[in-house]
Amino acid sequence: MASVERVPDLAMLFAEASHSLQTELTARLEHLGLAPREQCVLIKALDGERTQIQLAELCQLDKTTMVVTVDKLEKRGLVERRHAPNDRRARIIAVTDAGRALAEDGDALVQGIFADVLGSLPDDEREAFTAALTRLVDQRLADPPDCVAPVRRPRAA
């Protein structure tokens, strides 16, 4: 029987890479007292006035997780909820000075990890890798099909 060359198991490779990277981010952000999702909310909230719902979408968090995350950040004095000027039901998440300082420290750490991970590839492969992965996520993998039992995203730290 002729052997058939199999395509690498992309699902397993992506899952393993994601788990390993999330674990490293979690471990390295711990000394700042942040989880990766908290860091994500802080850094995205620095980009401008965004509602809690907009930030949840940007950080790929469900509503319940977003509320719990913002509650933790607010309790620590890192963010404030403010009424949105155009919709009193919506809340803008405003980062405090303390939150800004912590977000910037966390961002430097995260960017260093990303640079280190990409630095493990040869120079000529880095840009091609990130461009190809971005293209896959933005195009072919952007709209997964509906299914009877929706696949849940793995919990981020």
What percentage of the chain reaches a pLDDT higher than 90?
A: 76
pLDDT digits (tens, 9 = 90+) for 78-103: 999 998 888 878 889 999 999 999 99
| CA atoms of 136 and 26, how far apart (whole Å) | 25
Q: Is residue 47 within 8 Å of residue 96, measured between CB atoms?
A: no
Return the pLDDT at 89: 84
Domains of the chain, CATH where assigned: 33-137 (1.10.10.10)
Q: Which helix (H) or strand (E) holds 79?
A: strand 79-84
| CA atoms of 68 and 78, how far apart (whole Å) | 14
Return the pLDDT at 155: 53
**Average predicted confidence (pLDDT) for the chain:** 92
Tokens of 119: 């630095």
Helices (H), 1-154: 10-29, 36-45, 52-58, 63-75, 97-119, 123-138
Return the pLDDT at 4: 79
Q: What is the mean pLDDT of residues 38-54?
A: 94
Return the pLDDT at 157: 47
Q: What is the mean pLDDT of residues 106-112?
A: 97
Alpha-carbon Rg for the chain in angstroms: 19
